[in-house]
Amino acid sequence: MTHPVTYEREGRIGLIRIENGPVNALGHAVRAGITAAIDAFAADAEAGIAVVYGVGRLFIGGADISEFGKPPQDPWLPEVVNHIEACPKPVIAAIHGAALGGGLEVALGCHYRLAMQGTKLGLPEVTLGILPGAGGTQRTPRLTGLATAMEMISSGVPVTPDDALSSGLIDRIGTGDLLADAKGYATELLDQNAPVRPVSAMPRPAPDAGASAAIRATLAKRAKGLVSPLAAVEAVEASCSTDLTEGLAFERARFNEVLDTPQREGLIHAFFIERKVARLPEIDGVAPRSFARIGVIGGGTMGAGIATAALLRGLAVTLIERDAAAADKARATIDGNLAAAVKRGKLSEDKRAAILSDALITATDYAALSDADLVIEAVFENMDVKKQVFAELDRVCKPGAVLATNTSYLDINEIAASISRPADVIGLHFFSPAHVMKLLEVVVADKTASDVTATAFALAKTLGKVAVRAGVCDGFIGNRILSHYRAAADRMVLAGASPFEIDDALTDFGFAMGPYAVADLAGLDIGYMTRQRKATTRDPQEVVPTWADELYHLGRLGQKTGRGYYIYEGRQGTPDPEVEDLITKARMEAGIAPRAFTKDEIVRRYMAAMVNESARVVEEGIAQRPLDVDVTLLSGYGFPRYRGGPLKWADMQGLRALLADIESYAQDDPFFWKPAPLLTRLAAEEQTFDSLNAG
């Protein structure tokens, strides 16, 4: 294997070339290679200046994340960066694509920085639960001032070359060819006899009490529950009062602290599983079908959102509604969504006009779908209606068109079996609002062809969604697990907890919202309809939240009617005391004397129910791997990212302890608390869910 870092010279310019896999991550060989290349340049009497550059998509994507948690190997990245900075002859960083984390820190160790237009420059460590650990917190503020550095490092959001140039982070923007521009810059600096210019020798940034207070106020909201953003801010602030050596020692101490947290483990798990989730043997090497023209049936909540998502990503859409008025209404909803995108700067006004006149067709006749490559049905959640729609699609669609349903719960095998081409049928379960929510469950039915599955994953990528493969069952992965943990919450309510205590405990745990606030957001009619659908098949031992049925009958459907579990002024809800009365009535009817629940017990029971059902979903093959469950809950259900997903959380708790909880709850309530066999087996073998993610 050739070495990932090479040194060569052209005229008086030394070229240090980094080539290491997809993102030029700073693994051990690269760190050692950069050190050696700097030594070679320093010793090369013919060379007056050096250019460090990366080969491939980008400069350097950062430290090698897969090395975290393993024993460190010399040289450490901070030493490498110091070594570059200490070079007696000037070194230029020539940056294209991205310089992230340790990548930007390497550039900050260089004496001059050139970034190509379109490059992302950032210190995203906090998104992984850590902070810059190779001088980023000390050198950035010396270049940009304290406020800019604190914002950049505590948010993790990359900046553009224009912003970086005006803040002093870089010296020049390149617009042509990377190496040609870098050599041109090097020649200029040689001609000027430009000196080395170590950032560490620059003056310390001035303290800024106002900026320090403002960033803390921002973090209290933006980084609620997270440890590393504040630690990063404190490290940046240290640069005001320390020289570089002391500052680096402070940064290192904070870095080691956060490296050792479950948050770091959870966030890095999330990073890797999001990249692994689309890697499925069944579609490996399978070419997707075309999906340039999308058909959408139904222009209600979901159909209009799905159409918007496709249009925003450059796809053509034909939307079918029941009559002209409904079609016009759908067009108006889509127009509103596009207008909002224009307002947020995501779309130009010209593009919006072009989409509405050229890319979107609304119609009432299914014949308009004859040239559609892929059709997504989003009509009412009713099997007979869905079958009628699929019969029409079978009649009008061209051979090979992918026929997808957005059903939330219905049996996709039954839908597929009702037409002549079941291999073309698949579930594409979007989440509301479909043009905003990241998750897309790809529900593969018994007869779905593998190139149809490949097409679904390719479509998700085009739409910027995180696709998770699911199998057919009531609720697929996400809604099935949700209905179980929601049932655990309802059992706690009947036993004495209030819905507001439950929501409170779970938002403290890190969920974006608790289950009852979520129910209000989705609309209490949705839960009611689901209970009606299951009324005849339900086990009599299941707890039916009669209070929720009463809210439905009172027309209190949640946010959309201004009242549900909460009373709303805009989106802000306050607990409705009348809900407590309805619950008290339900307890009296069931002969239950209410007891108190601590926040800890609420969380443990809720999470135990979530993990137990997740284990069943994996064991039954509805989710092929534990990571599919974790990604589903992280991307679509507001699960706190820093906990990595329910099954990563379970691994970190220890499966034995979790099983012991379930067994103790089962003593009073054996119907609901049956340990999942997979959980029992993994606990007995002292294994983790993560051990099933390998491969």
Nearer to ligand 3HC, 32 or 214 (CB): 32
Name the residue number minimizing CB distance to ligand NAI: 300
Shortest Cβ 277–ligand 3HC spacing (Å): 10
Nearer to ligand 3HC, 105 or 377 (CB): 105
Shortest Cβ 425–ligand NAI spacing (Å): 15
322: partner contacted, choices ligand NAI, ligand 3HC, none (Cβ within 5-8 A by kind)? ligand NAI
268 is an interface residue for ligand 3HC by CB under 6 A: no
Nearest residue to 505 via CA among 521, 491, 516, 494: 516
Distances (CA, A) of 108 to 101, 394, 432, 660: 11, 60, 43, 51
100 is an interface residue for ligand NAI by CB under 6 A: no
Sheet holding 425-430, edge to edge: 360-363, 316-320, 293-297, 374-377, 402-405, 425-430, 439-444, 466-471
Dump strand ranges (E) for 421-550.
425-430, 439-444, 466-471
Give 440's strand partners.
430, 467
Contact residues for 31 (Cβ-Cβ < 8 A; gap 6+): 75, 76, 77, 80
Nearer to ligand 3HC, 130 or 603 (CB): 130
Dump strand ranges (E) for 327-412.
360-363, 374-377, 402-405
466: partner contacted, choices ligand 3HC, ligand NAI, none (Cβ within 5-8 A by kind)? none
Residues in 289-328 that interact with ligand NAI by CB under 6 A = 297-303, 320-322, 326
Which of 28-36, 131-139, 273-281, 372-380 is the region at the interface with ligand NAI (rule: CB under 6 A)?
Answer: 372-380
64: partner contacted, choices ligand NAI, ligand 3HC, none (Cβ within 5-8 A by kind)? ligand 3HC
527 is an interface residue for ligand NAI by CB under 6 A: no
Shortest Cβ 409–ligand NAI spacing (Å): 7
Phi, psi for residue 406 in degrees, rounded to 5: -100, 20
User: Quick check: 276 and 356 in contact, CB under 8 A?
Assistant: no
Which tokens is 215 given?
């960033």
DSSP string covering 283-336, please?
Answer: GTTPPPPP-SEEEEE--SHHHHHHHHHHHHTT-EEEEE-SSHHHHHHHHHHHHH
Which of 45-53, 123-131, 505-513, 619-627 is the region at the interface with ligand 3HC (rule: CB under 6 A)?
Answer: 123-131
Residue 105 a catalytic site member: yes
Peptide bond into 433 cis (omega under 30): yes
25: partner contacted, choices ligand 3HC, ligand NAI, none (Cβ within 5-8 A by kind)? ligand 3HC
61: partner contacted, choices ligand NAI, ligand 3HC, none (Cβ within 5-8 A by kind)? ligand 3HC
Residues in 133-152 that interact with ligand 3HC by CB under 6 A = 133-134, 136
Peptide bond into 75 cis (omega under 30): yes
Which of 104, 258, 379, 551 touches ligand NAI (CB under 6 A)?
A: 379
CA distance 644 to 627: 10
Residues in 75-104 that interact with ligand 3HC by CB under 6 A = 77, 98, 100-102
DSSP string covering 83-146, please?
Answer: HHHT-SS-EEEEE-SEEETHHHHHHHHSSEEEEETT-EEE-GGGGGT----SSHHHHHHHHH-H
Contact residues for 309 (Cβ-Cβ < 8 A; gap 6+): 430, 434, 435, 463, 465
CA-based radius of gyration for the chain: 28
Nearer to ligand 3HC, 128 or 443 (CB): 128
Catalytic residue among 8, 67, 85, 125: 125
Nearer to ligand NAI, 167 or 405 (CB): 405
CA distance 525 to 558: 9
Phi, psi for residue 464 in degrees, rounded to 5: 75, 30
**What is the pattern of x (binds ligand 3HC, CB under 6 A) and - over residues 48-77?**
---------x---xxxxxx----------x
66: partner contacted, choices ligand 3HC, ligand NAI, none (Cβ within 5-8 A by kind)? ligand 3HC
23: partner contacted, choices ligand 3HC, ligand NAI, none (Cβ within 5-8 A by kind)? ligand 3HC
Which tokens is 547 given?
């209070």
CA distance 302 to 200: 54
CA distance 35 to 29: 10
Nearer to ligand NAI, 6 or 301 (CB): 301
Shortest Cβ 405–ligand NAI spacing (Å): 7
380 is an interface residue for ligand NAI by CB under 6 A: yes
CA distance 31 to 62: 11
User: Quick check: 442 and 456 in contact, CB under 8 A?
Assistant: yes
Residues in 146-205 that interact with ligand NAI by CB under 6 A = none
User: Quick check: 529 and 407 in contact, CB under 8 A?
Assistant: no
Shortest Cβ 519–ligand NAI spacing (Å): 12
Which of 48, 90, 124, 422 touches ligand 3HC (CB under 6 A)?
A: 124
Catalytic residue among 85, 105, 441, 613: 105
**What is the pattern of x (binds ligand NAI, CB under 6 A) and - over residues 390-429?**
----------------xxx---------------------
Half-sphere exposure of 119 (CA within 13 A, CB side): 35
Query: Strand 13-18 relative to strand 5-10: parallel, antiparallel, unpaired?
Result: antiparallel
Shortest Cβ 266–ligand 3HC spacing (Å): 15
Which of 50, 108, 128, 402 touches ligand 3HC (CB under 6 A)?
A: 128
CA distance 472 to 479: 12
Residue 125 a catalytic site member: yes
Nearer to ligand NAI, 52 or 426 (CB): 426
Name the residue number minimizing CB distance to ligand 3HC: 101
User: Quick check: 281 and 443 in contact, CB under 8 A?
Assistant: no
321: partner contacted, choices ligand 3HC, ligand NAI, none (Cβ within 5-8 A by kind)? ligand NAI
Which of 35-43, 121-129, 331-339, 543-551 is the region at the interface with ligand 3HC (rule: CB under 6 A)?
Answer: 121-129
Nearer to ligand NAI, 313 or 329 (CB): 329
CA distance 308 to 323: 20
Token pair 């029941």: residue: 322
Shortest Cβ 127–ligand 3HC spacing (Å): 6
Which of 1, 2, 22, 206 touches ligand 3HC (CB under 6 A)?
A: 22
Nearer to ligand 3HC, 100 or 393 (CB): 100
Query: Contact positions toward ligand NAI, by CB under 6 A?
Result: 297-303, 320-322, 326, 378-381, 385, 389, 406-408, 430-432, 522
Which of the residues are catalytic?
105, 125
Query: Contact positions toward ligand 3HC, by CB under 6 A?
Result: 22-23, 25, 57, 61-66, 77, 98, 100-102, 105, 124-125, 128, 132-134, 136, 272, 275
